[in-house]
Chain A
Amino acid sequence: MRSEMTQMLRLQWQSSRWLLLVLAVICIGLPQASVRLALWVGGDDVLASGRLLAQLGSTSGLYPFLAAITGALVALTAWNWDHRTGHVYALSLPVSRTQYALLKLWAGAVVMLVPVLAIWAGAWIATAMTTLPSGLRAYPFAFGARFLLAALLVYATVFALASGTIRTTLIVTGVFCVLFIGGSIAVPWIESQFGVDLISPTQVLGEAFTSWPGPFRVFGGSWLLIDV
């Protein structure tokens, strides 16, 4: 099993190394850029007045977006070569489909550590080079851990979606779209026409996913590298 794991890791690296390099550059640069920008926009009194937090908050939305992009792209590259060859090579290997998928899942998660380590390093360098006002603290490790969690979540979701055929993926995505779009249009219309109070499936699903203990809760709240 060890040789298969090593080989799968090698394949994953080969299929996504340029993407990982680009992501790593962005991940290492973004925390530094956002801290520098906050210092620059805030002017001379930014450290004294504590306006640093407000300035950092204006760019904090980029981190969950970057985590989602990282997870999604790594998941797509995990299956890319298999899709291109019609999965024939994978299906001819003497491992079960579950085992193959788990090997791929593992390899993708491992290579995703590259951008995660980059964001952690970027956050650490950015905060280490800044003198923080009293009362504020830097959280580079927690920030990196949150990024990892968010990226892994999207990675696992997209990985599962992309593992099937294009038809399966379209069906699953289509069902979700119908549920969300249909729910958000049909429910208000029925409510206004018939004067009834319905439970919107869009709202229920949205809340289930994004509020605690929903899995996508990690994307909510503030993504501040520096906080009180």
Chain B
Amino acid sequence: MFTSLRGRIIVIIALVAASLGYLFTNQIKLGLDLQGGMHLVLEVDDPEGTMASEARADAIDRAERILRTRIDEFGVEEPLVQKVGSDRIIVELPGIGLNDESRAKDLIQQSAFLEFKLVLPVTELEAALSRIDRQIVGALGVDSIRALGRNEEGPSQDIQNLIFGGQGADSTQADSTAVEQGPEAEGPSVNLRPFTSLLSSGDIEGAYLVGTEDIEVAQLFLALPEVQLAIPRNTSLHWEADPIGLGQRTYQRLMVTEEDAFVTGEMLETATAQRDPQFNQPQVSFQFNRAGGRRFSNFTTQHIGDYIAIVLDDEIVSAPVVQDRIGASGVINMGNSDMVQAGDLALVLRAGALPARLAIMEERTVGPSLGQDSIDRGQIAGLIGVVFVVVIMALYYHVAGILAVMALTVYGVLVLGALAAFGFTLTLPGMAGLILSVGMAVDANVLIFERIREELTLGRATRTAVDEGFAHALSAIVDANMTTLFTALILFQFGTGPVRGFAVTLAIGIVASFFSALYVTRTFFLLYLSGKKASDPISI
């Protein structure tokens, strides 16, 4: 039935109808470069490359699942979370404009590793403090610490230089400068206890206070490997997230806790953002699962009167005192944050912690106005291009040219319908590819028509010339289209994002133009010839 004229017309009408149907029901998915949105490429953060590749692949697998849960709840329409290869995740968030960018990134990158740790009295650390001070002096050298002490009001950029300047092989040189600067140095006491001098006794027994301006220096000290080793076994130090104001100065609490958490976020059942009924501040309430709840209530029964640190990604978000046995639920007070932040925290806690830190390898964000502008311009360009093609074809091939243009219309509908039906994404280069393919789709028709003309010049009867024309042009059309198709497939294989979109439209365009030239144009020709005798002249 596909070869009789009626059969051909039915096939074409059915395909066009199906394409139109898909176009109106599915609509074509637009790429982020056209509709605006954010595109991220993530990898497990492993700058030294020390992770085994299986471990990394496993981490990426779990991270993909967790990110999917987080993003599904984020409320973006048609988000994409996709693993690429064994160690990469692509996240696409349509409609995320330049204003929500950092919020979306926080949501994706936050590890959300929640721990509950017992706060220890600072006396646990007291014995180790002098050792820590000695280690710092040993590691950094006297003069760079002296310089740090002098730099009290703005210890920001210079610190790195100072530290690295005073290290290792440069120490002799550093010593000589120290001699020169000697008279200017302040009291030597600063140098002897570089870390301890930054600490003030805290308002609760498990915490030191560090002035906000000294935090950067203190964090640098604590990050030294020698200092990490000097911290007593089974204790760890955590900063509290929010600073507190005491009198004129602001401080941040540095708390001593047990190293091991007694419960972690893995045992969370659920978490929700809410407002604290008393102070109307945002908070996140959470609920443990049965195992977690049991452990939590056992632990709190034994530690009534002690403080518990709720540690999120190494920072203490709150440190409540245990008033009574606590069951399976609790709250995290969010202090100065707003409800959006509380909601996001609840979301990441529900979705679970990421198995490893994710680094952003690539980030592209396009505002919606720019995308719309591209669409508008692309449509105008496409329209003008089509008019050019129609005029050229009609002028050059007359009626046959008009038949080709009709076939081209079918081609256009089929390509768009296929994009909609298979859910392919139309990107900006893809749109250009589509417009380009209109120019190239004519090619097959031109090959056929030229061949028919040649056959007519050789004196063949019209009908024979048409048949011969289609038959002889076939090999050129097949071979030319096949090689272009190969290129499109290779482009798809090696390309990413917008380039892939281009490859897809190119490939669809090739298949559709093949069909449109050999089947649709042929059908229109048969229709055109059906009223004629075999030897009547045709307009070509």
The answer to whether A and B come from one shared complex is: no
